[in-house]
Amino acid sequence: MDPKLGRVMLKEWVAIESDSVQPMPHFRQELFRMMAVAVDMLQRLGAHVASVDMGSQQLPDGQSLPIPPVILAELGNDPTKATVCFYGHLDVQPADRADGWLTDPYMLTEVDGKLYGRGATDNKGPVLAWINAVSAFRALEQDLPVNIKFIIEGMEEAGSVALEELMEKEKDRFFSGVDYIVISDNLWISQRKPAITYGTRGNSYFTVEVKCRDQDFHSGTFGGILHESMADLVALLGSLVDSSGHILVPGIYDEVAPVTEEEINTYKAIDLDLEEYRNSSQVAKFLFDTKEEILMHLWRYPSLSIHGIEGAFDEPGAKTVIPGRVIGKFSIRLVPHMNVSMVEKQVTRHLEDVFSKRNSSNKMVVSMALGLHPWIANINNTQYIAAKRAIRTVFGTDPDMIRDGSTIPIAKMFQEIVHKSVVMIPLGAVDDGEHSQNEKINRWNYIEGTKVFAAFFFEMAQLH
Amino acid sequence: MDPKLGRVMLKEWVAIESDSVQPMPHFRQELFRMMAVAVDMLQRLGAHVASVDMGSQQLPDGQSLPIPPVILAELGNDPTKATVCFYGHLDVQPADRADGWLTDPYMLTEVDGKLYGRGATDNKGPVLAWINAVSAFRALEQDLPVNIKFIIEGMEEAGSVALEELMEKEKDRFFSGVDYIVISDNLWISQRKPAITYGTRGNSYFTVEVKCRDQDFHSGTFGGILHESMADLVALLGSLVDSSGHILVPGIYDEVAPVTEEEINTYKAIDLDLEEYRNSSQVAKFLFDTKEEILMHLWRYPSLSIHGIEGAFDEPGAKTVIPGRVIGKFSIRLVPHMNVSMVEKQVTRHLEDVFSKRNSSNKMVVSMALGLHPWIANINNTQYIAAKRAIRTVFGTDPDMIRDGSTIPIAKMFQEIVHKSVVMIPLGAVDDGEHSQNEKINRWNYIEGTKVFAAFFFEMAQLH
Q: What is the pLDDT of residues B181-229, one digit of tens each?
A: 999 999 999 999 999 999 999 999 999 999 999 989 999 989 999 999 9
* Residue-level length of chain B: 464
DSSP letter at A99 equals G
Report the pLDDT value the prediction gives residue B193, as an integer from 0 to 100.
Answer: 95
- Report the distance separating Cα B126 and Cα B148, nearest Å: 15
Q: Are residues B175 and B150 in the same domain?
A: yes
A246 near B CB under 8 A: no
End-of-domain residue from the set A372, A388, A418 = A372
Q: If you count DSSP H runs as helices and E runs as strands, how many of each does chain B have, helices first?
A: 13, 20
Contact B318 A223 (CB under 8 A): no
Report the pLDDT value the prediction gives residue B237, as an integer from 0 to 100.
Answer: 98
B333 pLDDT higher than 50:
yes
A318 pLDDT higher than 90:
no
B357 pLDDT higher than 60:
yes
Is residue A405 within 8 Å of residue A299, measured between CB atoms?
A: yes
Contacts from B346-355 at CB under 8 Å and sequence distance 24+?
Answer: B346/B249, B346/B250, B346/B251, B346/B252, B347/B204, B347/B206, B347/B249, B347/B252, B349/B250, B350/B239, B350/B240, B350/B248, B350/B249, B350/B250, B351/B208, B351/B236, B351/B239, B354/B235, B354/B236, B354/B239, B355/B232, B355/B236
Report the pLDDT value the prediction gives residue A434, as an integer from 0 to 100.
Answer: 87
- Report the distance separating Cα A327 and Cα A230, nearest Å: 9
- Cα separations (Å) of A108 from A2, A117, B193? 18, 5, 80
- Report the distance separating Cα B228 and Cα A306, nearest Å: 8
Mean residue pLDDT of chain A comes to: 94
Report the pLDDT value the prediction gives residue A3, as an integer from 0 to 100.
Answer: 56
Is residue B188 within 8 Å of residue B361, measured between CB atoms?
A: no
Report the pLDDT value the prediction gives residue B408, as an integer from 0 to 100.
Answer: 85
A416: Cα separation from own chain's centroid: 16
Q: Are residues A232 and A351 in the same domain?
A: yes
- Report the distance separating Cα A20 and Cα B120, nearest Å: 57
B2 pLDDT higher than 70:
no
Q: Are residues B227 and B184 in the same domain?
A: no
Mean pLDDT over residues B143-168, rounded?
A: 94
Residue B423 maps to a domain: yes
End-of-domain residue from the set A332, A355, A372 = A372
Residue A277 maps to a domain: no
The domain that holds A336 is classified in CATH as 3.30.70.360
Enumerate residues 6+ apart whose C-beta is below 8 A from B127: B38, B86, B88, B89, B90, B152, B184
End-of-domain residue from the set A350, A372, A394 = A372
Mean pLDDT over residues B32-59, rounded?
A: 95
- What amino acid positions of A are annotated as catalytic residues? 91, 156
A285 near B CB under 8 A: yes
Q: Are residues B397 and B368 in the same domain?
A: no
Residue A265 maps to a domain: no
* Residue-level length of chain A: 464
Q: Is B359 exposed, middle or buried (0-12, 13-18, 19+ CB in 10 A)?
A: exposed
Residue A89 maps to a domain: yes
Q: Are residues A196 and A241 in the same domain?
A: no
Mean pLDDT over residues A66-84, rounded?
A: 96
Give the nearest chain B residue to A358 (CA atoms): B243
Number of A–B residue contacts, CB under 8 Å: 246
Is residue A365 within 8 Å of residue A232, measured between CB atoms?
A: no
Q: Are residues B458 and B424 in the same domain?
A: yes
A170 pLDDT higher than 60:
yes
Report the pLDDT value the prediction gives residue A1, as an integer from 0 to 100.
Answer: 47
β-pair partners for B304:
B332
Enumerate residues 6+ apart whose C-beta is below 8 A from A203: A331, A332, A333, A334, A370, A371, A372, A406, A407, B220, B320
A93 near B CB under 8 A: no
Alpha helix stretches (DSSP H) within A269-398: 274-281, 291-299, 340-357, 382-395
Predicted confidence (pLDDT) per residue in B405-437, tens digit: 988 889 989 999 999 999 999 999 999 988 888
Is residue B86 within 8 Å of residue B151, measured between CB atoms?
A: yes
Is residue B132 within 8 Å of residue B433, measured between CB atoms?
A: no
Q: Are residues A445 and A387 in the same domain?
A: yes
Residue B281 maps to a domain: no
Single out the residue of A131, A123, A128, A66 nearest to residue A92, CA to CA.
A123
For residue A422, what are the domain limits?
3-200+375-463
β-pair partners for A331:
A205, A305
Alpha helix stretches (DSSP H) within B322-442: 340-357, 382-395, 409-413
Contact B312 A309 (CB under 8 A): yes
Predicted confidence (pLDDT) per residue in B171-192, tens digit: 999 999 999 999 999 999 999 9
β-pair partners for B75:
B148
Q: Are residues A226 and A315 in the same domain?
A: yes
B464 pLDDT higher than 90:
no
Residue B293 maps to a domain: no
The one-letter amino acid code at B171 reads K
Contacts from B26-33 at CB under 8 Å and sequence distance 24+?
Answer: B28/B65, B28/B66, B28/B68, B31/B68, B31/B90, B31/B91, B31/B154, B32/B66, B32/B68, B32/B69, B32/B154
- Cα separations (Å) of B321 from A303, B315, B324? 13, 12, 9
B52 near A CB under 8 A: no
Report the pLDDT value the prediction gives residue B3, as an integer from 0 to 100.
Answer: 56
Contact A224 B310 (CB under 8 A): no
- Report the distance separating Cα B428 and Cα A267, nearest Å: 74
Left (φ > 0), alpha (ψ -120 to 50) or beta: where does A76 sit? left
- Cα separations (Å) of A317 from A84, B311, B340? 58, 12, 19
B152 pLDDT higher than 60:
yes
Mean residue pLDDT of chain B comes to: 94
Closest chain A C-alpha to B226 CA, distance in angstroms:
5
A66: Cα separation from own chain's centroid: 24
Report the pLDDT value the prediction gives residue A5, as an integer from 0 to 100.
Answer: 67
E strand segments, A1-91: 48-52, 56-58, 64-66, 70-75, 83-89
B360 near A CB under 8 A: yes
- Report the distance separating Cα B434 and Cα A153, nearest Å: 60
Is residue B340 within 8 Å of residue B371, measured between CB atoms?
A: yes
**Chain A residues closer than 8 Å to B207 by CB:** 318
Q: Are residues A194 and A206 in the same domain?
A: no
**Chain A residues closer than 8 Å to B289 by CB:** none
β-pair partners for B51:
B71
The domain that holds B104 is classified in CATH as 3.40.630.10
Single out the residue of B188, B7, B34, B189 nearest to residue B108, CA to CA.
B7
Query: Which of A402-416, A432-446, B84-98, B345-359 is most confident?
Result: B345-359
B308 pLDDT higher than 70:
yes
A362 pLDDT higher than 80:
yes
Residue in B329, B358, B368, B437 to test binding to A, most A beta-carbons within 10 Å: B329
| Ligand-binding site membership of A431 (annotated) | no
Q: Are residues B16 and B127 in the same domain?
A: yes
Residue in A252, A287, A305 to test binding to B, most B beta-carbons within 10 Å: A305
Q: Is A400 exposed, middle or buried (0-12, 13-18, 19+ CB in 10 A)?
A: buried
- One DSSP character per residue, A447-464 reads HHHHHHHHHHHHHHHHH-
Report the pLDDT value the prediction gives residue B1, as an integer from 0 to 100.
Answer: 47
Predicted confidence (pLDDT) per residue in A405-450, tens digit: 988 888 989 999 999 999 999 999 999 988 888 999 999 999 999 9
Mean pLDDT over residues A171-193, rounded?
A: 94
Number of domains in chain B: 2
How much of chain A, in percent, has pLDDT values that exceed 90?
86
Q: Are residues B71 and B115 in the same domain?
A: yes
B395 near A CB under 8 A: no
Report the pLDDT value the prediction gives residue A62, as an integer from 0 to 100.
Answer: 85
| Ligand-binding site membership of A435 (annotated) | yes
A379 pLDDT higher than 60:
yes
Mean pLDDT over residues A365-382, rounded?
A: 94
| Ligand-binding site membership of B89 (annotated) | yes
Active site residue B91: yes
Interface of B with A in 362-381 (CB under 8 A): 362, 369-370
Single out the residue of B444, B460, B425, B403 nearest to residue B146, CA to CA.
B460
Q: Are residues A211 and A329 in the same domain?
A: yes
The one-letter amino acid code at A79 reads P
A282 near B CB under 8 A: yes
Band the pLDDT of B23: cuts 50, 70, 90.
confident
Residue in A248, A290, A306 to test binding to B, most B beta-carbons within 10 Å: A306
How much of chain A, in percent, has pLDDT values that exceed 70?
99
Q: How many CB atoms lie within 10 A of CB A359?
A: 11
Q: How many CB atoms lie within 10 A of CB B365?
A: 12
Contact A307 B322 (CB under 8 A): yes
Residue A400 maps to a domain: yes
Band the pLDDT of A2: cuts 50, 70, 90.
low
A405 near B CB under 8 A: yes
Mean pLDDT over residues A330-355, rounded?
A: 97
Give the nearest chain A residue to B246 (CA atoms): A224
A47 pLDDT higher than 70:
yes
β-pair partners for B241:
B247
Residue B279 maps to a domain: no
Contact B223 A284 (CB under 8 A): no
Q: If you count DSSP H runs as helices and E runs as strands, how many of each does chain A have, helices first?
A: 13, 20
Contact A301 B224 (CB under 8 A): yes
Contact B321 A308 (CB under 8 A): yes
- Report the distance separating Cα A360 and Cα A233, nearest Å: 11
